[in-house]
Amino acid sequence: MVTHIFCLLLTCACAMAAPSSQSVNLLMSQVQPQEPDTYLCTSMNVRTIQPYITEFFPHANMDIAHHILLYGCETPGSEEKVWNCGEMLSTSDKAFKSAPVCQTGSKIIYAWAMDAPSLKLPPDVAFKVGGDTGINYLSMQIHYKNVSTFKPPQSKTDSSGVTLITTDVPKANHAGVYLMVTGGEIPVGSIEYLETACPYDDIEIHPFGFRTHTHTLGQVVSGYRVRDGQWTEIGRMDPKLPQMFYNVTNKVTLKTGDILAARCTMQNSLDHDVAIGNTQNDEMCNFYIMYYADGDQPLKEDACFQRGAPNWYLWDYPDQDALNLKDMPVNASTKPGSDYIYKANSTAYVEGLRLALKDINENEMMDEFLDGVISQMDPRDVESLVTPEQDREERDMANAYPGYFYPEEFQ
Ligand code: IYT
Ligand code: CU
Ligand code: CU
């Protein structure tokens, strides 16, 4: 009996010393940013916390903070308690040193913007940090929009941030984020498509959230899985809406043999060309996929980058048979809830489309004639045959890639 009570006490004491779940605050330490659009970062070493993160509770007010991003870093951007980590390093508040969010190995793991609620990962899913995950620090970036309350006479301070629910009980599935990203540029006065696609060749994963990111020129960002030539939307969003993680459009899985594809539809109404780059005056084209996978094996590759316009469009993807562009949804450049199609019209796009369609026509002609006919003909005659007649050309063009749009002259 005595030992029995002793045991009970012991279990109880152990449970108190190491509760299986803890909440951890990652908050700004009473900062007073003085310039609008200041981006501040603070970080924490993950050795001090339990390794499985299952939930995120934001503490922020949308009148003050425009967005919060939480990153896992291999090494933090700075040793400072708080530093300036803006994409637009020009608005540098002299009170803070400037440094990137992470020095090395950055992975986005949570995003808050405007009215985003708390994020609870699916049951048995956690973001793992520490150990061999490559995540040694968590860095939090807050974009301060309105700073008037931090100036005299109010001189308030800010402690916005995120509370993490962590546990040391291993979860069967781990969460991760896959990034689709392009380079490229958007010519003055045009609508342009920045596109990327990659073969998926890894363990089976289950996407459950997506986030889009562009700066001011983005109109629509959409992402897809292509399996057996069939396109399925993972997510589609107006990037001018809060750039947080939304639920996927379709709960599909990704496995070896699939292709991931994404498009940012950009409209440049400014008076100069805009290229992809790291400041707010440049553009970005990002489609993030938040997923979970069985076990804790990380992906070999967690980003898909292509050069983007004017040098790369989806018709430049090497395996066109597998990509099967004619199944690309026509609403890829339409904002959810609207039916307006943003049709690309840049010179590179129009020229590229013309060439891509010419290839298709030639291939189809070849198929029809290859057996027998061509082999018996004079090569010069073959050439005149594979050059399609005008009306056939127009019909084929309209049927070839429904997800692409034909400039007036093609219609
Ligand atoms: C040039 C570009 O597109 N930069 C993006 C993508 C990016 C994400 C991560 C680049 C790096 C990263 O470690 I995660 I290097 C970019 O900077 N996107 C911003 C955040 O920094 C993540 C965004 O809000 O999506
Ligand atoms: Cu912001
Ligand atoms: Cu950006």
Lowest mean pLDDT among 67-76, 81-90, 174-183, 191-200: 81-90
Beta partners for 264?
A: 194, 221
From the CA of 111, give the closest atom in ligand 1.
24
Answer whether 106 contacts ligand 1 (Cβ < 6 A): yes
- What residue's CA is closest to ligand 1, atom 23? 213
- The reported pLDDT for the residue numbered 398 is 64
**268-305 pLDDT per residue, tens:** 999 999 999 988 889 999 999 999 998 888 899 999 99
Best mutation site among 110, 181, 214 for ligand 1 pocket (most ligand atoms within 8 Å of CB): 181
Answer whether 181 contacts ligand 1 (Cβ < 6 A): yes
Q: What is the mean pLDDT of the chain?
A: 88
Q: What confidence category does residue 10 fall into, taking pLDDT thresholds of 50, 70 and 90? A: very low
- The reported pLDDT for the residue numbered 6 is 44
- The reported pLDDT for the residue numbered 279 is 83
Q: What confidence category does residue 393 fall into, taking pLDDT thresholds of 50, 70 and 90? A: low
Answer whether 128 contacts ligand 1 (Cβ < 6 A): no
> Which of 55 and 364 is assigned the larger pLDDT?
55
CB neighbour list of residue 28: distance below 8 Å, 6 or more residues apart: 40, 42, 82, 140, 142, 158, 159, 160, 161
- What residue's CA is closest to ligand 1, atom 13? 106
Q: What confidence category does residue 191 fall into, taking pLDDT thresholds of 50, 70 and 90? A: very high
Q: What confidence category does residue 358 fall into, taking pLDDT thresholds of 50, 70 and 90? A: confident
In terms of Cβ atoms closer than 10 Å to its own Cβ (0-12, 13-18, 19+), residue 145 is middle
- The reported pLDDT for the residue numbered 95 is 84
Q: What confidence category does residue 369 fall into, taking pLDDT thresholds of 50, 70 and 90? A: low
Q: How far is the CA of 77 from the centre of ligand 1 (A)?
A: 14
Q: How far is the CA of 83 from the centre of ligand 1 (A)?
A: 18
Answer whether 286 contacts ligand 1 (Cβ < 6 A): yes
Q: Which ligand is nearest to the CA of 285?
A: 1
Answer whether 67 contacts ligand 1 (Cβ < 6 A): no
Amino acid at 142: I
Best mutation site among 213, 274, 283, 299 for ligand 1 pocket (most ligand atoms within 8 Å of CB): 213
pLDDT above 60 (res 15): no
pLDDT above 80 (res 364): no
Q: Report the C-alpha gap between 141 and 161 in whole angstroms.
A: 9
- The reported pLDDT for the residue numbered 404 is 87
From the CA of 277, give the closest atom in ligand 1.
1
pLDDT above 80 (res 211): yes
Q: How far is the CA of 178 from the centre of ligand 3 (A)?
A: 16
**49-73 pLDDT per residue, tens:** 999 999 999 999 888 998 999 999 9
- The reported pLDDT for the residue numbered 11 is 45
Q: How far is the CA of 286 from the centre of ligand 2 (A)?
A: 15
Lowest mean pLDDT among 9-23, 30-44, 209-223, 356-370: 9-23
Q: Which has the closest alpha carbon to 55: 145, 123, 7?
A: 123
Answer whether 133 contacts ligand 1 (Cβ < 6 A): no
Q: What confidence category does residue 82 fall into, taking pLDDT thresholds of 50, 70 and 90? A: very high
Asked whether 227 and 275 are in contact (CB, 8 A), the reply is no
- The reported pLDDT for the residue numbered 271 is 97
Query: Which pairing describes strands 191-199 and 259-267: parallel, antiparallel, or unpaired?
Result: antiparallel
Report in angstroms the alpha-carbon separations of 269 from 85, 216, 217, 357.
Answer: 29, 10, 8, 28
Residue % of the chain over a pLDDT of 90: 72
- What residue's CA is closest to ligand 1, atom 11? 106
pLDDT above 50 (res 20): yes
- The reported pLDDT for the residue numbered 2 is 43
Q: How far is the CA of 123 from the centre of ligand 2 (A)?
A: 30
Lowest mean pLDDT among 23-32, 369-378, 382-391: 382-391
Please state the rounded mean pLDDT for residues 99-114.
93
